[in-house]
Amino acid sequence: MQIHVVAQGESLWGIAQTYGVPYQGIIEANQLPNPDQLVVGQAIVIPIAGRLHWLAQGENLRQVSERYQVPIQDILEVNQIQSLNNLPKGSKLYIPNHFYRQKPSIDVGAYVDLKITGEDSPQYVNQVGEFLTYLQIFSYELNADGTLTQINDQAIINAAYADRVVPLMVITNLVEGAFDTELVTTVLQNVELQNRLLDEALAIMEEKGYLGLDFDLEYLGAENREAYIELMRRAREKVDERGYFLSSALAPKVEPGMTGVLYEGHDYAAHGEIADFVFLMTYEWGWTGGPPMAVAPINQVRRVIEYAASVMPNDKIMMGIPLYGYDWTLPFVEGETRAKAIDHQEAIRLAASNNAAIEYDESAQSPYFNYIDEAGLEHEVWFEDARSIQAKFDLVKEFGLRGFYYWVLGWEFPQNWLLVDANFNVNKRV
């Protein structure tokens, strides 16, 4: 796969001719919502085996060789070039896949929120199951007596098995859609309630066919940090008896002493020691109640990964990736403005229908644009595209992480799955 960014005046037909691929193939690969109305700055994935490189002014084959880690002689032979000298600017060079990339094997996970996707949840798994190792089924909500609120999840568990995806049972401390500190404190500070929770969870797992247990307990505060670690240790003993996986979802910390109820209850080093892997929530810098910015800016994501890698094994780290963006109405007013969540396809449709050019923030490695709606109000949109996803995949490779996961299935982003396939071999563990 190769990523092409649409320039002013370009057409899809012309892009197809440039790369020597069928016009319809680009439409289908990207599921383009606007094939006859491309957006300036729109990133398109070109379905070719390998990639093309156009020689820039002053660039030579030695530099190309170093960039792609391909021997110069191989470039010469594949492109039938007789001499290193005097290649003109703009010369098109073909770099085959087997020369420049060996795909690493990784784990890929995805959360699915049954309250959002409901009865349609299995179809989302069927669509992308070939690219998943784990499916985190969200969620069994904790009660103050240590019991769990039942959910209708058998159909989606069966869908996971059909694609050889490991179903993970997710336990949360949600109360009416919000994480509740008082509730989780009640359970964590009582050993009897902890044991009741684990016994019920394991009984459900055995009955329904879950193969792993994932704790997503948030807003714990410092007072629950040690109790949470003890819960994880008890869970470790019990899941080991049955051969299940154990994981936890952790807030995006960049140093051990971070203050705040969201961060203080999560001990990276301890969870990294106890769990088989951890899901780092590296997203929501840009969020529905905050000012406009990238949801998962790569510079901030990198800080979290660097800290995590300093206190836990890299092969236990699963980096979080959002499948969504946000549309803010301006001006932003703190406490009042609420951004609307949108997916990649909707972002492109918005840009096209409002004749907005897409910009790209190099520091955040994230696309954005502004537009004026029919009521005359200005909007700012930040979302994910092929470039921002590739930047995140490159970070996974750089640190040799176990893999990454998505929050959350149900958002349309066809380019993402093409890039997963182009970059990685996805492990299957069932």
Among 378, 371, 368, smallest CA distance to 355 is for 371
Torsion angle in degrees (nearest 10) through CA of 253, 254, 260, 262: -10
Among 279, 340, 345, smallest CA distance to 312 is for 279
pLDDT band for 73, please (50, 70, 90 cuts). confident
**Per the structure block, which two tokens stand in for 355?**
């004749």
pLDDT band for 77, please (50, 70, 90 cuts). confident
What does the alpha-carbon distance between residue 344 and residue 383 come to, in Å, rounded to a whole number? 6
| Region 105-426: CATH code | 3.20.20.80
The confidence score (pLDDT) of residue 100 equals 54
DSSP run (H or E) holding 207: helix 191-208
| 99-147 per-position pLDDT tens digit | 556 789 999 999 999 999 999 999 999 999 999 999 999 999 999 999 9
> Does residue 148 surpass a pLDDT of 80?
yes
Mean pLDDT within 364-378: 97
| 315-335 per-position pLDDT tens digit | 999 999 999 999 999 999 999
Mean pLDDT within 39-63: 90
pLDDT band for 91, please (50, 70, 90 cuts). confident
DSSP run (H or E) holding 277: strand 277-280
DSSP run (H or E) holding 51: strand 51-54
What does the alpha-carbon distance between residue 99 and residue 167 come to, in Å, rounded to a whole number? 36
| 198-232 per-position pLDDT tens digit | 999 999 999 999 999 999 999 999 999 999 999 99
> Does residue 303 surpass a pLDDT of 70?
yes
Mean pLDDT within 7-19: 95
Question: 229 and 267 in contact (C-beta within 8 Å)?
Answer: yes
Average pLDDT, the chain: 95
> Does residue 411 surpass a pLDDT of 90?
yes
**Per the structure block, which two tokens stand in for 46?**
């070109």
pLDDT band for 82, please (50, 70, 90 cuts). confident
Mean pLDDT within 36-50: 93
Task: Return the percentage of the chain with pLDDT > 90, whole number.
Answer: 85
3-state secondary structure (DSSP) of residue 322: strand
Q: Where are the domains of the chain?
A: 2-100, 105-426
- Which of 141, 218, 264, 346 is the catalytic position? 218
Residue 218 catalytic?
A: yes
The confidence score (pLDDT) of residue 102 equals 77
Among 2, 54, 92, smallest CA distance to 415 is for 2
**In sequence order, which residues have a C-beta less than 8 Å from that of residue 336 and are 6 or more positions away?**
none
pLDDT band for 90, please (50, 70, 90 cuts). confident
Buried b (16+ CB within 10 A) or exposed e, 262-275: bbbbbbbebbbbbb
Q: What is the largest CA-CA distance in the chain?
A: 78
Higher pLDDT pick, 102 / 44: 44
| Rounded (5°) CA angle 151-153-156 | 155
User: Alpha carbon 332 to chain centroid distance?
Assistant: 27
| Region 2-100: CATH code | 3.10.350.10
**Per the structure block, which two tokens stand in for 217?**
């307990």
What does the alpha-carbon distance between residue 161 and residue 428 come to, in Å, rounded to a whole number? 11
Q: Which amino acid is at 67?
A: R
**Per the structure block, which two tokens stand in for 197?**
């929770």
